[in-house]
């Protein structure tokens, strides 16, 4: 790999192969994000930044995160500043393994242990009573903390090397789709971030499922890639779990109070059988139309993404929304997927974006 001089993120147009070899020390206050290959030198550079209270872009299996030491209030404050995130919207704390749970919670529950055993490492975030070492800025002043153990080799390596829990929201600028490549992170936050570790495209593509695990039954606070069916397969066998585990308690999830991402173009969700014809109909009226569907785009319609099933759409969704904005289509038509498994989270994100 050829070492490139770091470039302004805004000059980078989604080309791959622009890793910067970190042979020079990354300087504090640098304003140009360097996308680093996640080899030993890249991990070491990220660790140095994290140890002095800085923020780095970190790949996870769901989306890229904007990571800082979860136990350092000044470092966590930087995350909020970079993202432009309201102070009362708490962050997820990422751990290397479930064994580190005691470090960040006041008390665990049999439910949390069962869920952690089944789904960690993986895209499930558990909300539990917060431990005293976690600063209030991390939890937005709540008495609870959201925790997950990511299932991505680069995140695991970074968490192991730094030896600290890492707070990380999705690494998009507020108002943009979550990033699923290092290039997305650099495009949104490149001016405010020193380093992004490049772990390639995220294999899941939508954010983790957030579950309140303080009681006997899981309460889903945010739909995600661990589905209700997945949860039910574990807690359904627990004697005290009841059908109430299907309850959605949106009030308890601070993030849902804020305006969700909406693309700059109009977004229309179409039933599977109608997507192509609806796109063609709109294009015939003289406007520019993009299509995300399982079928090819009809003549006069720009194909933004083509998917095979709901997990495939999940992987491509956020990149497709960015592409639709970049190509300045007037309307993006997206084919609906069945609301089972990760399809429910995909449809949840699509409906919010279409609002
Ligand atoms: O997949 C993911 O979850 C990604 C990757 C980077 O791990 N992270 C992510 O973080 O999506 P963020 O900050 O974009 O979304 C976290 C969500 C927000 O809706 C927030 O309000 C909720 O989790 N949350 C965090 N702490 C909470 C708590 N103590 N109680 C309830 N909800 C909480
Ligand atoms: Mg987010």
Which residues in the chain come in under a pLDDT of 70? 1-32, 236-260
Domain ranges of the chain: 9-252, 266-354
Q: Which residues have beta carbons under 5 A from ligand 2 (an ion)? A: 170
Contacts of 319 (CB under 8 A, 6+ apart): 180, 181, 184, 201, 305
- Mutate which of 82, 210, 218, 258 for ligand 1? The one with the most ligand atoms within 8 Å of its CB, which is 210
Q: Tell me whether residue 340 is exposed, middle or buried, using C-beta atoms within 10 angstroms of its C-beta: 0 to 12, 13 to 18, 19 or more.
A: exposed
pLDDT for the residue numbered 139: 98
pLDDT of 257 reads: 60
Q: What is the pLDDT of residue 142?
A: 97
Collapse the DSSP code of 118 into the 3-class scheme (helix H, G, I; strand E, B; otherwise coil) and give the result: helix
For residue 223, the CA-to-ligand 1 centroid distance in Å is 11
Question: What's the pLDDT score for residue 32?
Answer: 66
Please state the atom number of ligand 1 nearest to the C-alpha of residue 207: 1
Nearest-CA residue for atom 21 of ligand 1:
255
Task: Output the pLDDT for position 254.
Answer: 67
Atom of ligand 1 nearest to the CA of 64: 6
**Is the CB–ligand 1 distance for residue 125 below 6 Å?**
yes
Fold of 9-252: DHBP synthase (3.90.870)
The finding on whether 144 has its CB within 6 A of some atom of ligand 1 is: yes
What lies within 8 Å, CB to CB, of 231 at 6+ separation is 115, 209, 211, 218, 220, 245
Class of domain 266-354: alpha beta
Query: Shortest CA distance to 318 belongs to which of 180, 185, 134?
Result: 180
pLDDT tens-place string over residues 164-218 = 999 999 999 888 899 999 999 999 999 999 899 999 999 999 999 999 999 999 9
């Amino acid at each position: 790999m050829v070492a490139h001089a770091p470039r302004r993120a805004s000059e980078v147009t989604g080309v791959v192969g622009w890793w910067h070899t970190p042979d020079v020390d990354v300087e504090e206050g640098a304003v140009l994000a360097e996308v680093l290959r996640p080899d030993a030198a890249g991990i070491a550079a990220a660790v140095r930044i994290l140890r002095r209270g800085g923020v780095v872009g970190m790949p996870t299996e769901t989306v890229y995160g904007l990571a800082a030491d979860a136990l350092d209030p000044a470092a966590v404050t930087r995350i909020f500043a970079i993202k432009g995130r309201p102070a009362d919207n708490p962050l997820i704390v990422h751990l290397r393994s479930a064994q580190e749970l005691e470090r960040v919670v006041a008390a665990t529950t049999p439910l949390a242990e069962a869920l952690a055993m089944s789904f960690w490492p993986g895209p499930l975030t558990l909300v539990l009573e917060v431990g005293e070492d976690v600063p209030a800025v991390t939890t937005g002043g709540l008495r609870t903390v959201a925790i997950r153990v990511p299932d991505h080799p680069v995140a695991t390596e970074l968490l192991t090397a730094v030896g600290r829990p890492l707070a990380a929201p999705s690494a998009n600028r507020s108002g943009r789709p979550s990033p699923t490549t290092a290039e997305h992170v650099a495009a949104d936050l490149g001016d405010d971030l020193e380093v992004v570790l490049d772990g390639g495209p995220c294999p899941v593509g939508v954010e983790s499922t957030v579950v309140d695990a303080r009681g006997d039954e899981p309460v889903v606070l945010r739909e995600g890639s661990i589905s209700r069916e997945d949860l039910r397969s574990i807690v359904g066998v627990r004697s005290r779990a009841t059908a109430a585990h299907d309850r959605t308690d949106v009030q308890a999830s601070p993030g849902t109070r804020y305006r969700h991402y909406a693309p700059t173009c109009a977004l229309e969700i179409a039933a599977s059988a109608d997507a192509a014809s609806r796109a063609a109909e709109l294009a015939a009226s003289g406007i520019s139309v993009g299509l995300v569907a399982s079928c090819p785009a009809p003549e006069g319609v720009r194909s933004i993404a083509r998917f095979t099933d709901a997990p495939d759409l999940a992987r491509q969704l956020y990149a497709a929304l960015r592409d639709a904005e970049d190509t300045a289509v007037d309307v993006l038509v997206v084919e609906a997927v069945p609301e089972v498994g990760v399809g429910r989270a995909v449809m949840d994100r699509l409906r919010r974006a279409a609002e």
